[in-house]
Amino acid sequence: MPLRKALIDLMYYNGNPPADDLITLADDNDPLVKKLYAGLLKRAKEMIKNVHEKKTVPGDIDKEMVSLTHQILMDGVTKGLKVDWDKVDYETDDGKKLHALQTHVFKFSACKNYQEVLAMGRNLTDEKGNIRPFDEFRKVAGKIDSTFNGSWLRTEYHQAQVTATRIADYRRMEGNTDIYPTWQYKTRADGHVREPHKALHDMKLAANDPAWNAIYPTNGWNCRCWVKPLSDDPPHTGKGEEAIAKLRSTIVSKKTGMSEWDNMVKQGFNQNFAKTGTCYPANHQYFKAGEALSVQAALSQFNPQKKNDSFNTKVSSATTTDEVADILKNELSQLGHDKVSISFTEIDTETAKVFAGELTALCKKYRVDAVFNEFYTKKLPKLNGIVNASITKTTVEKRMNVSSETKPDRIQPEANSASRCDPDKLNVSTLNHEFGHLLWLEEEMGANAVAFKGKISKINSQYFKEIKNRIKQSKDYSDIYLGKYGSIRKKEGALSEFVAEAFQEYRNKKNPSKFALEVGKVVDEHFKK
């Protein structure tokens, strides 16, 4: 079912424009928010172009748009909670709750973008079914984007910040009910308060009244209500029913007879967000895309910022591939690779971020002592990637290229050209393969080269012996096969390909095959820091 603009407008604003004093993005003086929002608007133009060229189609998401949206909304959460993410210990109960909140906001961002791409895709053709010329489509899609990332995003940002503030209030008050056993419902008492909420203004309930599970603010889009803790003796715990009764008796639609309580239930606001640990109702229209493959794939790769991980924080905030390259170069320099040059071409910023994170993780885990000169991305005819090396008696200089295009061979059951990987690891599979070559070349200079190559040669021989036996017995060998690249015999570079393919699968498949596992263990033995 199409996501209709009128439906969201009605849901967010009850048919009225947002109040003048609501938090906005354009007027936010935070340089980071300004930078992120400018990046979002810039990326939206690229997304519109991609939808028109059918590079992005309904069912897809634009990962860069999702990331920027998530960062903007998380800025609201951060300001509301007043949390220093670098100091969060994700192993604690509070840390796990914060992790869940970050994931919730990311899912909301991914579903939002899914719905925007869907809306644009449905407007790609005119009423006669013809593809609109780009200039015409750009205007139509631009209006869609200005809605999703204009008025709606401002409301969603406000919801994130205000709800996060109420969550922080709740957790603070919850720990002091022995001092403040009574809580008082408060509105802003100005001209923007909706009539049903006015009916609750100054109402006092016991802190443990069950009604707070349903009416603790926020109680609707753009709701600014709050709760004041009091030291007064608490009323009887059943008084909360009076509050809910007031909401039931306040009719907000004469046509349908819908009450404010009915409206809260319909929109998912009859809950305590401080207890659910979320900012947005579970039945929000966006979340209809929650089970979409593109959304689930993005969620599987989402990894909130970890304690004191300034690298991830910086990369997450980058808005161009050049920024990502500079951050990666600095990080690799701190890991001892101070001569490496980085060049991200023909890929988008989000892919560059993924590559940067994966290469950093590999360099942190594995020893690469030789000179690592260059890492770059470029489309390669007939190749997924390549490692070039110039080797002398004293040095090994290495250049790694990972293709800007990733072929799906590794996740296609019928393909036999490559070792396997899990679907969510496909985009880093080539990088891991080329890093395997990098490690093999390391052994051209390493003191333990003979021992390492001896072990690999032995595993390689066992691999071919087992495949040969299975073929003779007409048995399937796909469960151990490392693809045609990993199954080359008696050619220059054959063992290097065997290591690279096995290492890729070892790193990127939850249950790697027998020989991928054996090679991975030998690599760990010789290279793991």
For 352-370, give the DSSP string: HHHHHHHHHHHHHHB---S
Tell me how crowded residue 1 is: count the other CB atoms within 10 A of its CB: 6
Tokens linked to 191: 């001209």
Contact of 463 with 419, CB cutoff 8 Å: no
Give the chain's residues under pLDDT 50.
Answer: 1, 15-24, 26-27, 306-308, 385, 387, 389-396
Question: Which of 47, 111, 65, 105 is closest to 350 using CA atoms?
Answer: 65
Classify residue 172 by burial, with Cβ atoms within 10 Å: 0-12, 13-18, 19+: exposed
Please give the Cα distance from 421 to 507 (Å, whole number). 8
Query: Rounded to an integer, what distance in angstroms lies between the CA atom of residue 472 and that of residue 470?
Result: 5
The model's pTM: 0.60
Q: Are 78 and 175 in contact, with CB atoms under 8 Å apart?
A: no
Pairing of strands 258-259, 251-253: antiparallel
Contact 317, 36 (CB under 8 A): yes
Structure tokens at 333: 């320099």
**Cα–Cα distance, 494 to 61 (Å, whole number):** 39
Q: What is the pLDDT of residue 374?
A: 72
**Per-residue pLDDT at 414:** 60
Residue 304: Cβ-neighbour burial (10 angstroms; 0-12, 13-18, 19+): buried
Cβ proximity of 62 and 56 under 8 Å: yes
Measured CA to CA, the distance from residue 33 to residue 26 in angstroms comes to 9
CB 489 within 8 A of CB 480: no
Q: How far is CA 498 from the centre of its chain?
A: 33
At CB < 8 A and 24+ separation, what contacts does 307-310 make? Answer: 307/86, 307/87, 307/88, 307/89, 307/90, 308/86, 308/87, 309/86, 310/86
- The rounded distance, in Å, linking the Cα atoms of 117 and 148 is 10
